[in-house]
Amino acid sequence: MKKYLGIDIGGGSIRGSVVDESGKIYSEHRETTDRFSENEAFLSAVERVIEKNFKSEKFEKIGIGSPGPIDIDTGFIFSSANLVNLKNTPIIPHIEKKFNLPVRFNNDANCAALGEFHFGKGKGFTNLIVLTLGTGLGGGWINNGKIYNGYKGNGMEAGHVTVVMNGAKCGCGQNGCAESYFSARGLVNRYKDSTGDTLGSAADFFSLVQKGNPVAMQVLDFGINALAELIRNLIHITNTEKIIFVGGLTRSYDIFGKQLIEKVNEIIFPVFRNYTKIEVGSTLAGTLGAAALCFEI
């Protein structure tokens, strides 16, 4: 079976794994990154991950998943919220030239969708959406068995779908995006709106909910409804067969999942109620989805 190297660029580390089309992992290596790395140091770290894996296992292609904004046509990372000094980083041209191997590139949400499609809860479905519930809210769409890239890879900016016109300020500069109500940043900021208190994390927020804090419960209730409206919008536009949640907030799915599904079923057109399935994804290494970029032509 053919083997591919998947590279997952995260905030604190770059991980690489050689995997085959069945999802079997043959090697794993990582390099930690400094939040303040500039282009050159960052690219050197990516090179080291590739070299270490290459010593363990041979592979035919490389797939790289990166947070955005990226340009999949040119293979550049424009910038990164977690690696603050990256700027127009020519990651794909650089790696292709250095290793003389084909390199595939996409954003992390699209890679997560591809991972679920090939190896996780999306197996057997050809039209599915993965929502990444983390610091922000991202989306990746598999349509007709392929990533829907849209324009330069910006397809499915699910977090920046407006559900509350003139609503809360979002990190994107606009108002009322789904992300501003249901994401780690959104929940913490909406809690701050009401109390003035800055919580350290989404875990702190959900801990307050579990202790019965009325403000936190109200913020969560509104956030669940906003996420349900986002899901309604995605279903009414794409008629997707499946919506899969991944990311840190899914650890609290026990707290919000039941209410969310009930709300979605209340507000979507009846024809979709028994059609679109909604659930939490598999716990997959990010490198698997990146490697799966190589499966496509």
Question: Is the separation of the CB atoms in 287 and 16 below 8 Å?
Answer: yes
CA angle 16, 286, 224 (to 5 degrees): 160
Query: What is the smallest separation between the CB atom of 169 and its own copies, expressed in angstroms?
Result: 13
For tokens 């709300």, what's the residue?
263
What is the C-alpha separation between 275 and 269, in angstroms, rounded?
A: 11
Backbone angles phi and psi of 230, in degrees to 5: -60, -45
Contact positions with its own copies (CB under 8 A) in 56-95: 69
Give me the 219-258 binding string for its own copies, x by CB under 8 A, dash otherwise.
------xx--x--xxx-xxxx-x-----------------
Window of 21-29, 31-39, 146-154, 194-202 that interacts with its own copies by CB under 8 A: 146-154
Give me the 153-172 binding string for its own copies, x by CB under 8 A, dash otherwise.
-xxxxx-xxxxxxxx----x
Cα of 196 vs its chain's centroid, Å: 29
Does position 275 interact with its own copies (CB under 8 A)? The reply is yes
What is the C-alpha separation between 67 and 35, in angstroms, rounded?
A: 14
Q: Which of 58, 123, 152, 258 binds its own copies (CB under 8 A)?
A: 152
Tell me the site size for its own copies, rule CB under 8 A.
37
Question: Is the separation of the CB atoms in 82 and 67 below 8 Å?
Answer: yes
Which residues lie near its own copies (CB under 8 A)?
69, 143, 150-152, 154-158, 160-167, 172, 174, 176, 225-226, 229, 232-234, 236-239, 241, 267, 269, 271-272, 275
